[in-house]
Amino acid sequence: MKANRKLRFRSALSGYIILLPALIVMVAFNFYPIIWSFLVSFKTARAIDIKNSTLFQIPGVFVGLDNYIKVLQNDLFFKSIVNTGYFAIMFIPLTLLSSLLLAIYVNQKFKGVNFFRTIIFIPYIISVISSSLVFMTLFNTEAGFVNASLELVGIKGISWLGNEKLAMPVIALMSIWRRVGYFMLLYLAGLQNISKSMYEAADIDGANAFVKFKSITVPLLSKITVVIMVLLLRDALTIFQEVFVMTGGGPGNSTVTVPFLIYQEAFSYLRFGTAAAMSYILFVLAFIIIIVQNKIINRKGNTE
Amino acid sequence: MNTKGKMIFNYVVMIGLVTLFLIPLYWLVSGSFKSNFEFNLVPPTLFPKKLEFGNYKTAWTQLGFNQAFRNSVIVTISTTVLNMITGTLAGYILSKKKIPGGKLILAMMVSVLIVPPAVLLLPLYFIIVKMGMYDTLLAIILPFAANSFTIYFMKQYIDDIPDDLVEAARIDGLSEMGMLTKIIVPLTTPALVTVALINFVGNWNAFTMPLVLLRSNENFTLPLKQAMMANATDVNAWTLILAATVLSIIPVLIVFIGSQKYFVKGIMEGAVKG
């Protein structure tokens, strides 16, 4: 008995030692920061407080819910949520639909399909910064490709990134171009998991392509669709780099997204407390949306 | 639709979409070879009149993209290798060894995945400053030496190795080190390649954390350098920025084309398992 316990203890100890490198990094740079942010969101942490505290001191003076109240009274914060929503409403449905259609297309067998898949996927491995720079030159008002093409059919050049209504759609378009290949692969994995016999049975019943799509493909892809929706939502809520490079939040704050505002609040205005509060509101918002999304899709799955 | 009609339809769709998807890349490459004067011409030219190879040389040496390139190589290789090590070690323990609290640790690591990166931005800055690593390459290596995605991915893959095999090796007196090098690593090589690729691309393209954790020009990684160049008001540098952008894309493109099979398989397997 005793020897057994000793042996188990030694085994657990060696287990912890092997786990240690990953654990240290996760605790120091993930777990601790998440708690830190939470605590700071209830404090006023000025630059001087940050400077004077040590690594394990949470800087600032406790002020209760003040930061949250301030954030909720901040018009720009609401605008950033609306802007993020505007982006999401274009980005999520369009990416979802086009990645599904592309997946169905590349799920066929014909010559060149692998080449095609590669081309569609390539933008995903290009950095957001590089893609943003490329789209800035494409949508350049004077010498850009898009306006030059429009000019050919007699449409006068548009100041895409200088227009409050159009800047965000350009960012959304770039995001779709960059990401659709990735989601195409996820859907393709889902499609390849559907057994051929389902379609053969439907063929025998005389179902046409649309009926097959509606009553076999879509329901059987609902699980992967939930995964994709969550990933798309995460993408939509983390739009920052493209705004930083392409518009700097302008024109007229029309492209200020929540992460961009958090960055500005923290690193331009050095208001760490309210920035932390914003990041936690974003966190809660994301969490609620994911849960609601899951609920809706699960319910649909059950009734059908 | 008959078979022939369907085939024609397929190829028309393919040509159309390939063109559409390649336009941005074509515009990038052709712009990088234009002279400054030609780049600002209205209407723009579709093909550069004269290939301006000098853009590449100027961007590389005079604008200091060689330094940024070097920094990116150091950071990317270090973080990728470190993640492969920490991910395999942690994945092995969380999958095959019963340690008290193991399940809780795994649950905590996985739940980090749903936290928006914006939550980590400030505290990471704070921690790095307090640790005295601010504005060093270490600041963007150490915090990213392990990540929950890699750990979880490796754990899932190691789960597929039969417990009996591990148990038998243990009874044969194989040490933990031997277990890792002789059993776990050889059996998880495809997963390791996938993880390496995903980490490589992710770190090569990382921007937000370097932006917050680095300040000096000589420490900038490629994306940071590109963004800072573009934000500097000098409009005459655009052809150079595009040349630098082409240079920054080439390494990931080579890595991707060389290992496409693993990359695509990894993503698709992750989708079905996830």
Q: Is residue A248 part of a domain?
A: yes
**pLDDT for res A184:** 95
Size of interface A-B (CB pairs under 8 A): 266
Is A138 domain-assigned?
no
Task: Say whether pLDDT at A303 is over 50.
Answer: no
- Whether A136 has its CB under 8 Å from any CB of chain B: the answer is yes
Mean local confidence (pLDDT), A20-34 = 96
* Cβ–Cβ below 8 Å for B123 and A177: no
Per residue, the 3-state secondary structure of chain A, as one string, reads: CHHHHHHHHHHHHHHHHHHHHHHHHHHHHHHHHHHHHHHHCCEECCHHHHHHCCCCCCCCEECCCHHHHHHHCCHHHHHHHHHHHHHHHHHHHHHHHHHHHHHHHHCCCCCCHHHHHHHHHHHHHCCHHHHHHHHHHHCCCCCCHHHHHHHHCCCCCCCCCCCCCCHHHHHHHHHHHHHHHHHHHHHHHHHHCCCHHHHHHHHHCCCCHHHHHHHHHHHHCHHHHHHHHHHHHHHHHCCCHHHHHHCCCCCCCCCCCHHHHHHHHHHCCCCHHHHHHHHHHHHHHHHHHHHHHHHHHHHHHHHC
Q: How far is CA B72 from CA A123, B80, B208, B251, in A?
A: 20, 12, 14, 11
Q: How far apart are CA B36 and CA B207, in angstroms?
A: 27
Contact of A19 with B89, CB cutoff 8 Å: yes
Predicted TM-score (pTM) of this structure = 0.91
Select the more confidently predicted residue: A207 or A3. A207
Domain extent for A110:
74-117+180-270
Please give the pLDDT value at position A304.
39
Read off the pLDDT of residues A33-90 as tens digits, 9 standing for 90 and up.
999 999 999 998 888 888 888 888 888 889 989 999 999 999 999 999 999 999 999 9
Interface test with A, best of B121, B129, B130 (most A CBs within 10 A): B121
pLDDT in tens, B170-207: 888 888 889 999 999 999 998 999 899 999 999 999 99
Q: What is the pLDDT of residues B223-233, one digit of tens each?
A: 999 999 888 76
Omega before residue B44 within 30° of 0, cis: no
* The pLDDT of residue A61: 86
The answer to whether residue A131 is domain-embedded is no
Q: Is residue A232 part of a domain?
A: yes
Tell me: the pLDDT tens digits for B244-267?
999 999 999 999 998 888 888 878
CATH T-level topology, domain B64-273: MetI-like fold (1.10.3720)
Residues 6+ apart with CB under 8 A from A250: A167
pLDDT at A254: 95
Question: Over chain A, what is the mean pLDDT?
Answer: 90
* Within a domain: A41: no
Q: Does A145 map to a domain?
A: no
* Secondary structure letter of residue B238 according to DSSP: H
CA distance B256 to B249: 11
Cα–chain-centroid distance for residue B150?
12
CA A276, CA A248: separation in Å to the nearest integer? Answer: 21
DSSP state of B61: I
- Specify the long-range contacts of residues B254-257, CB closer than 8 Å, at least 24 apart: B255/B197, B255/B200, B255/B201, B256/A122, B256/A125, B256/B197, B256/B201, B257/A118
Closest residue in A to B37 (Cα) is: A143
Tell me, what's the pLDDT at A301?
A: 52
B207: helix, coil or strand? coil
Note the ipTM here. 0.92
Residues 82-101 of A with CB under 8 A from B: none
A249 interaction partners in chain B (CB closer than 8 Å): none
Looking at beta carbons, which residues of chain A come within 8 Å of B211?
244
pLDDT one-digit tens code per residue, B138-167 = 999 999 999 999 999 999 999 999 999 998
Asked if B44 reaches chain A (Cβ–Cβ under 8 Å), the answer is yes
pLDDT at A54: 87
CA nearest to B140 within chain A: A29
Q: Which two tokens stand for residue A133?
A: 């720079």
CATH number at residue A243: 1.10.3720.10
Is A107 a member of any domain?
Answer: yes
Average pLDDT over residues A2-10: 77
- Structurally, how many domains does chain A consist of? 1
Residues in chain B: 274
Give the C-alpha separation, A240 to A256, whole Å: 9
Is A123 within the bounds of a domain? no
Is B209 buried (19+), middle (13-18) or exposed (0-12) by CB count in 10 A?
A: buried
pLDDT in tens, A122-165: 999 999 999 999 999 999 888 888 988 888 888 888 889 999 99
The pLDDT score that the predictor gives to residue A108 is: 87
A32-48: burial string, b at 16+ Cβ within 10 Å, e else:
bbbebbbebbbbbbbee
* pLDDT the model gives residue B31: 92
